[in-house]
Structure 1
Amino acid sequence: MSKVILITGASSGMGKATAELLLKKGYIVYGAARRTEKMKDLKQAGAKILEIDVTNDQSMVLGIQQIIENEKQIDILINNAGFGLYGAIEDVTMESAKYQMEVNLFGLARLTQLVLPHMREQSNGMIVNISSIGGKIANPLGGWYHASKFALEALSDSLRMEVKQFGIKVVVIEPGGVKSEWSDIAMENAQKTSANGLYGKMIQKMIETGKKFKDRNAEPEIIANLILKVIASRKPKTRYSGGFMAKPLLLLRKILSDSQMDKMILGQFK
């Protein structure tokens, strides 16, 4: 029987590309997002569409109930929903910071809680958490985004060890630069939050640097193929990376000191 997969954040970018690829490979795909109107093409391709807001507990509970009622199982959860709240830590309101953590971490954790009993009953399953190289490397002006992804890395490590006894695997994907609406939203948030204050020059430099590299970002299909490789593997690794500059930057993070990394990163803001 085909495996049943739930993908959050499936209305655009990496989530949508992954849903499209997995449908072509014969998986039963449930695509979840708030903006279901953006998934009409996925529905026509055979995906089953769920309106799920990862900050709304009831929508998550009902979504999982619907999958189990329809399929009697759920094999793979791909936690892809997320966004980047950018702006200086001094400027970002606590309300906004809490919302960033709610979307990128707590919503993901709650959805994971909801699928685990079903995977445990099956004695198998897989949780794929979409992190970022920003879960290992922090840039200025993205403190709360990085905090959410650093936390996701640790949460995934703990979860992996907890659920191994039940035959459930946990894998982290760390994308680098990928073409999507993510960066536009992040830069818009940064401008709204800090462009007119003490950090305005840093914001402007960050936006200019982002524009320089935008065309070199990887297509979302690169990450979709990486996810396919993970879920098709009998013994997947704990972490995978892909996309523009992902592997070189992660290597530099391993070999450079904090002060060397700071110097390299801040060099982009001069």
Structure 2
Amino acid sequence: MSKHVIITGTSRGIGFELVKLFSEQGYKVLALSRNEKPISDLKLTHVTALPFDLSRKTDFHKIETFIKNEWKHVDILINNAGAILNKPFSETTMDDFEFVYKTNVFGVAEMTRIVLPFMRNPSHVVTISSMGGVQGSMKFPGLAAYSSSKAAVITLTELWAEEYKETKIAFNVLALGAVQTEMLAEAFPGFEVPMTPKSMAEYIYNFAVTGCKHFNGKLLQVSNSTP
């Protein structure tokens, strides 16, 4: 039986590289992003790219319909999409927080809730967080909305693992250090780091495929810098 993976935030960076990796390994991939064209243009076998916005409630219906009509089951969900905001806290409004949380928290929760009924045993939900969301880690000014939203999905993952512990669905969260993505460049112009999207995607791919055998409800810090 074919293996199915859903990946969000696939138009660039880590998500874009993940789609290619899973496709190369024979997975059927549902690639979701506000801009589906970069993946569609690759014309990869067994990859479906759909325009999707995590902050828009109505978009979730088409995901549910697609799974019901095309796949019937899902093996891996990678909650990779994220919104970042770099702004002094004194200027960060309630609307700013809502913008970030709609994608990074509410959207992640709803995507997981929609997909779970279709997950068979064993299966894996991997959520991408950030080192900035880890309690006790070094924090950066301007990321109050972003880092706190990434902390929220760490706790969500622990809660899911407890609530679904009688099933064979594993829930884990990866807190990534800085990766040289377009999103990083937009938030911090001129800031450069050695970690590439492809290198990080390779780690996430391997963890998504094998990590469910060894971890459940766990936070793994994926960073090669200290602190």
Task: State if a TM-score over 0.5 links the two structures.
Answer: yes
RMSD between aligned residues: 1.7
Q: CA offset at residue 20 of structure 1?
A: 0.5
Q: Which residue of 2 aligns with 1:128?
A: 126
State which drifts further: 18-27 or 122-131. Answer: 122-131
- 1:235-257 C-alpha deviation (Å, 9 max, x unpaired): 23333343xxx2443xx4xxxxx
Which structure 2 residue ranges, 5 or more long, are not aligned?
A: none
Give 2:214's aligned residue: 236
Matches within 5 A, 1:144-223: 144-187=145-188, 211=190, 213-214=191-192, 216-223=193-200
Runs of 4+ in 1 over 6 A off after TM superposition: none
Taking structure 1 as reference, are residues 24 and 72 closer, same or farther at Cα in structure 2, changes over 3 Å only?
same
Cα distance in structure 1, aligned partners of 2:209 and 2:95: 40
Match of 2:43? 43
Question: Which protein has the larger Cα radius of gyration, Structure 1 or Structure 2?
Answer: 1
1:68–1:74 contact (8 Å) kept in structure 2: no
Note if contact 1:13-1:181 (Cα within 8 Å) is conserved in structure 2: yes
Report if the CA contact (8 A) 1:20-1:45 is conserved.
Answer: no
Separation in structure 2 between the aligned mates of residue 159 and residue 4 of structure 1, nearest angstrom: 21
Give the share of equivalent positions with the same residue, in percent.
30
User: How many residues end up aligned between the 2 structures?
Assistant: 221
Is the contact made by 1:5 and 1:29 (CA closer than 8 Å) also made in structure 2?
yes
Q: How far off its partner does 1:125 sit?
A: 2.1
Contact 1:230 1:236 in 2 (8 A): no
Partner residue, 1:257: none
Q: Which piece of structure 1 moves more, 89-98 or 33-42?
A: 33-42
Work out the CA distance in 1 between the residues paired with 2:198 and 2:130. 16
TM-score by length of 2: 0.90
Alignment gaps of 5+ in structure 1 = 188-206, 253-270
On the 8 A contact 1:130/1:173 being kept in 2, the answer is yes
Alignment check: 8 A CA contact 2:27 2:46 kept: no
Instruction: Compare the two structures and name the one with the higher strand fraction.
Output: 2
Match among 173, 180, 204 for residue 227 of structure 1: 204
Q: Contact between 1:32 and 1:49, CA under 8 Å: does it hold in 2?
A: yes
TM, length-normalised to structure 1? 0.77
